[in-house]
Every structure is written in structure tokens, then in C-alpha cells.
Chain A
């Protein structure tokens, strides 16, 4: 049964004496794209790490809600979470296709190789590139491959940390399309980015973190199928960002 919402309550993360997150509470809903904004070192990646189950919060709770109760089984949970992080998670000696096929096996994806090929088509890595060792990839190609990895098991929850980094214009616009599709199909989306232009129109929920604290939150409900009319515009996002971080 798929996750319908994530509820973060009073989450704190300490690294030694340093507080990376200081009591963050947040609700993430299906069919909504939440833009997580904030200056470097604000704790955005840390929050993503906690939501992805990799990092354990020092205090506070994260509840993953299904229609019939909370998801507590870690394996069932991880099966539904797709992560794109700063690093690519790719083995340099293996080709793009082999990397994806390997992760496909770990995720128990049926027909892992065929599924990998289909995703490589989606992220537009051509036949020659996908059969080359990943260490020969450019930054943008690696980012496309990492994105394919995040989507491989068709996750319900997508946690993307600066997904537009390194992508060219076509890459960025096909990522934006993928995000719109995911939103349409009722996924939970959390996107950390500084590229406000790329997510303008798609975003209906904005959260600003600063020094580990949630300093601003705003939502705008969108009519189904009219995403670009009611979401936050580029100007809105820029204003919000500068107001709370500048």
C-alpha cells in the first residue's frame, strides 16, 4: 500500500555540538511538489537524509502514512523511496546500464535490464553512452544516470537534492516534465534546489530552512491539470527566498 503523506514532527539532528536541524516540523502530501529552499549549510540535505531513512534523527519523529496506518517496515518503506543525492551512487568501472541493472536487482525490479533500458531512454542517455564505464561520464550525464536510478523502482516518494545540477537545457526541461508527471500521478515530491526558474509553476509548497530552522512555509492549492496557473511563479519564489535568507 503506497504512502500518502509524510509527517515530520520536531526533528532535530546534532553532529557533535553542531545542530544541523533544530526542531523541524513539516507535512508532505501526495500530488504535491515541495520546494525546500535555503542557503548552504541550512540543513536541507540532512533533512533529506533523515526522510530517506539513511540518517537517524537525534530527536523527533517521521511518520510515513498510508491509508490504513503508518508504514513501519523499513524494507517496505525503502522500496517506496527514490533518492537523488549529491553523489551519483554509481560505480565508475561499470557502465551506466550495468549500474542500473545492478540497482534494479537490489530493488527487486522485475526485468531489471529492460526497465533500465527504458529509463535510460527517458533520461536520454544514448546507446553509446550507456555502454561506457560511468567514470567516463560528464557531470550532466552522471546526473541523468543518477536520476534514472532514483526512478528505477517507480517510487511513491521522490527526494531530490539539487537535481538540476549539471543538466543542460534539454536535460533540465525533461526533468521538469518528469516532475510534473510524478506530481500528476500522486507522488510525494521534495526537491532541494537553487534553480528557482526550473521549478517555478510546478511548486505548490515552499519551505525555507535557515541554520537548521524552518523559517518560512507557504502552500498554494492547485486545480488539477492547471499546474502553471496556481503554483508559485519564478517571481514568487525569488521574493520568498530573498525575504527569508537575504
Chain B
């Protein structure tokens, strides 16, 4: 019980700080929207429509890149008055601190997705919401995995000088399976979009959803296992 209340305290603290300053959410959302906008001009065919096959990729690139921004900033905040040390001095397990931070990040990413996914649907005319249940599952599972892996690396780099440059470099290779799964699952939902006789490939979508669930479980376990040793000076 105490463990859960400590997790909640850390996550709620991050949300409260963010709702006061709003800098993470504004930057992330603005950046993701810009990515969508740029791609919406880049991938237009001669007929003036966007190639449907690239839409899932664009969505996930936007989410992944803006997620990195949020991740850097959320952990940078713990450096400002050395608050990370303040957290680590507390008599709660480091796992609770880690989970609290990861939940905070996941919430930021989910909020950005609430803006960006409908925007994708509108900008590209993609019928993303025809299959709302698998779509929500994909988004939530990918966000959880992203936040867990991201928090591990952001915490690990907290005391290195070039952490902003290093974070994407170390993070993305580990995220490749997650981003592929997210893209493939979304693509399966959009299968044959615009063609009234075609149907979405829900079997493929659920395959990738299961893949994401397994990815999440593996990395949550690994993160809980390694976090303690990452933060000792």
C-alpha cells in the first residue's frame, strides 16, 4: 500500500509541476503537430492525396520524436535543484520512484496522442477510428513500453553531460521493435482504406498488439531489475 502511494506521489508531483508550467505538453504537442504537417506536404501524390501506406509511419515518428523531448525535459527537471537526490534519499524503494516517473511520462505521451491521432485522421483522411478498440490498445501499450524504456535511459544519462544528444542514440535501437509493432498494427487497421471492398486486417493488428504486450512485460521486468543499480553514484 505504501509502495503504491509513493508511486502515486511521484507521478502526481510530475503532473502537478507540468500543469503549472505546461512547457512539456506544449512543446511536445507543437512538435508532433509540425512533424505531421511537414509529412502531409512531403508525401502527396500527383493526384493531390497522401500515400495511405505512409500514414502509420508518420504518426509513430511524430509520437516517438515528441516523446523524446518530453522524456529529456521531465528528467532534466529532477536536476534543477538536485531533486533526484532528494527522491533517492527518501525511504522508498527506487522502483517506486522509477514507476512514478514512468507513469508521469506515459501520461504526457497519451495526452499528446489524444491531439495527434485525430489530427492524423483529419489531415490524411485516414479512417483511424473505424476500429477504436484495437487503436486504443495499440496506443496505450506502445506508450507504456516507450515510457518504461525511456525512463530507464533518461535516468541512466541523468549525470552525463551530453545526455540530450545521447538519449535518442541509445534509446531508439531498443525502441525499434516497439515502433515497428506500433506502425504495423496501425497499418493493419488502415488496410485497404479508401477501397470500399477491402477490410482492415484485424488478425494482423491483434498479432502486433500481443507483440507489444510481450515487449512491455519484458522491459518492465528488466527496468525494475536494473533501475536500483543505475542511480547509485
> Which residues from chain A sit less than 8 Å from chain B, CB to CB?
49, 52-56, 75-79, 81, 83, 85-94, 98, 102-103, 105-108, 133, 149, 153
Q: Whole-angstrom distance from the CB of B49 to the nearest CB of chain A?
A: 45
Known contacts A75-B91, A78-B91, A81-B89: does B81 contact A106 (CB below 8 Å)? no
A-B contact pairs, 23 of them (CB 8 A): A49-B233, A52-B89, A54-B88, A54-B89, A75-B93, A85-B82, A85-B85, A87-B81, A88-B82, A89-B89, A90-B86, A91-B17, A91-B77, A91-B81, A93-B20, A93-B21, A94-B13, A106-B9, A106-B87, A106-B91, A106-B92, A108-B2, A108-B92
Total of A-B residue pairs, C-beta within 8 Å = 76
By a CB distance below 8 angstroms, the chain A residues around B9 are: 102, 105-106
Q: Nearest residue in A to B88 (C-beta to C-beta)?
A: A54
Q: Is the CB of B83 within 8 A of A90?
A: yes
By a CB distance below 8 angstroms, the chain A residues around B77 are 91
Q: Is the interface of B mostly helix, strand, loop or mixed?
A: helix
If A77-B91, A85-B85, A103-B86 are given as contacts, then 5 extra A-B residue pairs at C-beta distance below 8 Å, sorted by A number, are: A49-B233, A88-B82, A90-B81, A91-B83, A94-B13
A79 touches B83 (CB 8 A): no
Residues in A whose Cβ lies below 8 Å from that of B13: 91, 94, 102
Chain A nearest CB: distance from B88 CB in Å? 6
* A105-B6, A107-B90 known; A55+B233 contact, CB < 8 A: yes
Which B residue's beta carbon lies closest to that of A81?
B89
- B91 in contact with A79 (CB, 8 Å): yes
CB contacts under 8 Å to A, within B71-129, are 77, 80-83, 85-93
Residues on the A chain within 8 Å of B88, using CB:
54
Q: Is B131 close to A, CB under 8 A?
A: no
Contacts of A149 in B (CB 8 A): 86
In the bound complex, CA of A76 to CA of B91 (Å): 7
* Chain B residues in 8 Å Cβ range of A103: 86, 90
Tell whether, in the assembled complex, residue A105 and residue B5 are in contact, meaning their CB atoms are under 8 Å apart.
yes
A83 contacts across to B, CB distance below 8 A: 89
Q: Which 9 A-B pairs have the closest CB atoms?
A: A89-B86, A87-B82, A106-B90, A79-B91, A78-B91, A105-B9, A93-B20, A93-B17, A75-B91
Q: Does B132 lie at the interface of the complex (its beta carbon under 8 Å from any beta carbon of A)? A: no
Given A93-B17, A106-B9, A54 and B87 contact (CB-CB distance below 8 Å): no
Asked if B83 and A89 sit within 8 Å, CB to CB, the answer is: yes
Tell me the complex Cα distance, A52–B91, Å. Answer: 11
Cα A133 to Cα B21 in complex, Å, equals: 11
Give chain B residues whose Cβ lies under 8 Å from the Cβ of A76: 91
Of A78, A93, A106, the most chain B CB neighbours within 10 A belong to A106
Query: Closest Cβ of chain B: how far from A53's Cβ, in Å?
Result: 8
- Which of chain B's residues have a CB closer than 8 A to the CB of A79? 91
Cα separation A107 to B90 with both chains bound (whole Å): 6
Residues B85 and A54 in contact, CB atoms below 8 Å apart: yes
The answer to whether B232 has its CB under 8 Å from any CB of chain A is yes
Contact residues in A for B2 (Cβ distance below 8 Å): 108
Write out the residue numbers on chain B whose beta carbons fall within 8 Å of the beta carbon of A94.
13, 16-17, 20
Complex Cα–Cα for A75 and B92 (A): 6
User: Shortest CB–CB separation between residue A3 and chain B, in angstroms?
Assistant: 13
Contact at A133–B81, with CB atoms within 8 Å? no
Query: Shortest CB–CB separation between residue A204 and chain B, in angstroms?
Result: 27
In chain B, what residue has the closest Cβ to A13? B233
Chain A residues with Cβ below 8 Å from B82 are 85-89
Contact present for B90 and A98 (CB under 8 Å): no
In the complex, chain A residues whose CB is within 8 Å of the CB of B89: 52-54, 78, 81, 83, 89
